[in-house]
Amino acid sequence: MNAPIKDTLIKDAPLIDAPIIYEESMSYRLDPELEPPSRFPTDLLIRLEKAEGNLEAVSHLQHLARRRTLKVILELVKVGTTRNAEGTQLSYSITPFLSGTITLEEVWNDLREVNQEALMDCVLDAVRRFQGLRVQDDNVIQALQHHSNAGGDSKPLLKTLIGGPDTGYHLDIKSLLESFLHPEAAKLSMCQIIDQNDGIAIRSLDDDAEIVELSQVDLDTLSKHVVLCHNDLEPRNILVKRADLKGNDGNPWYELVATIDWEVAGLFPFAYEFGLKDTCLGTSNLLFSWYSLFKKKTSTLLPAGEAHEKLIRALRIIDQSNRKSIPRNVGVRVRAAWIKWECLVMHADVTRVWVRKNGVADIPAFTKEDQASLENEVLKELGYI
């Protein structure tokens, strides 16, 4: 980290040499052996990204989430912008570095079922608390006022605003769904989102020809149930720590410490986050037992009414169209191979969706080695290796 940046963030605080580098961002850890500035934690993580990114807006959503549940949301020590030695403007955020923690992804398959249940109950409690922060609340509208403008103008935010920094903010459900449809699928007319006399219709144009109709009453219902959603509550984004407690069998016990990576968070009907779980299985998450338990536990948070079920089915139609529009995409092929590996089929119940085939015995845990093997097979099929 060059001097102009460091002096803006925290003066006289040496950094551990090796940064954690991402595609569009970079993270540094402050040396914990040295005395930090007054009121700062002793161990800090600094994240930098290009100023045109969403870091500041995302950090603001994280701050709003922390209002609801202090225990599992990292404190934002400082957020702002700075410039490097070349004059490039950068956004930054500073949070405590939680030493001794690991991602839940690293240990999930090794945990006893009772520990998995306990951790999921903590996640359920956090989601329930997030939902207590509604977009209709005046303090939320005011907090987001300076971080987004739907439609590209400077008008004050409306109380029906839907979306987030990653998806953009939208004035209605149709606009949100259109943003979920990939340009390739739209160009090939794999899926249509069309206006009707009383609402909209989402229609797949392939041989299956699925269609979901959302009436104006449905759309109004969804807009009234907009809440704060993380949208990526997967084991890789959950930090846990080994506790002193051990079970009767001597196995270690892990406790939830924090939910991280709020990049795709925003204000959505919870059915949107619930439906994303189905589209992300096999990509963002390769732990089927986590997916199943999450769906089982959080289905209790879905509001009653068919509007929410329709939104989940609409997301599924769009996602399938997105994947069919890029048949040679490596990720699409790997996901299909993983679903076959796990012996999964789609269930009609939207609170379940992906389930194991009837009569399938227990399948061994999918490992990193298995993942590498599947990826290599796909690359060979496509002629890349």
Nearest-5° Cα angle at 294, 288 to 299: 130
- pLDDT at 33 (0 to 100): 55
Question: What is the token pair recorded at 18?
Answer: 């090796």
Q: Please give the Cα distance from 200 to 212 (Å, whole number).
A: 9
pLDDT tens, position by position, 228-240? 999 999 999 999 9
pLDDT tens, position by position, 81-124? 888 778 888 888 888 888 899 999 999 999 999 999 999 999 99
CATH number for the domain formed by residue range(s) 3-96: 3.30.200.20
**Residue 89: closest CA among 33, 5, 23:** 5
Helix/strand/coil (H, E, C) string of 141-171? HHHHCCCCCHHHCCCCCCCCCEEECCCEEEC
Predicted TM-score (pTM) of the model is: 0.87
- pLDDT at 325 (0 to 100): 95
Q: Please give the Cα distance from 333 to 327 (Å, whole number).
A: 7
- pLDDT at 89 (0 to 100): 84
- pLDDT at 53 (0 to 100): 75
DSSP code for 369: H
Q: Hunting for tokens 């096999």 — which residue is that?
A: 282
What are the phi and psi torsion angles at 268 (to 5°)?
-145, 160
Where on the phi/psi map is residue 225: left (φ > 0), alpha (ψ -120 to 50), or beta? alpha
What are the phi and psi torsion angles at 271 (to 5°)?
-60, -30
Q: Please give the Cα distance from 147 to 161 (Å, whole number).
A: 13
**Residue 232: closest CA among 58, 369, 4, 1:** 58
Q: Please give the Cα distance from 274 to 316 (Å, whole number).
A: 11
- pLDDT at 24 (0 to 100): 52
Q: Please give the Cα distance from 2 to 87 (Å, whole number).
A: 11
| Residues ≥6 apart with Cβ < 8 Å to 209 | 203
What are the phi and psi torsion angles at 52 (to 5°)?
-75, -5
**C-alpha dist (Å) from residue 245 to 100, 115, 225, 226, 251:** 16, 11, 40, 39, 9
Please determine, looking at this structure, whether the domain spanning 102-327 carries the CATH number 1.10.287: no
So where are the chain's domains? 3-96, 102-327
The segments of the chain whose pLDDT lies below 50 read 4, 7, 10, 12-23, 149-152, 154
Q: Please give the Cα distance from 367 to 341 (Å, whole number).
A: 12
User: Do 102-327 and 3-96 fall under one CATH topology?
Assistant: no
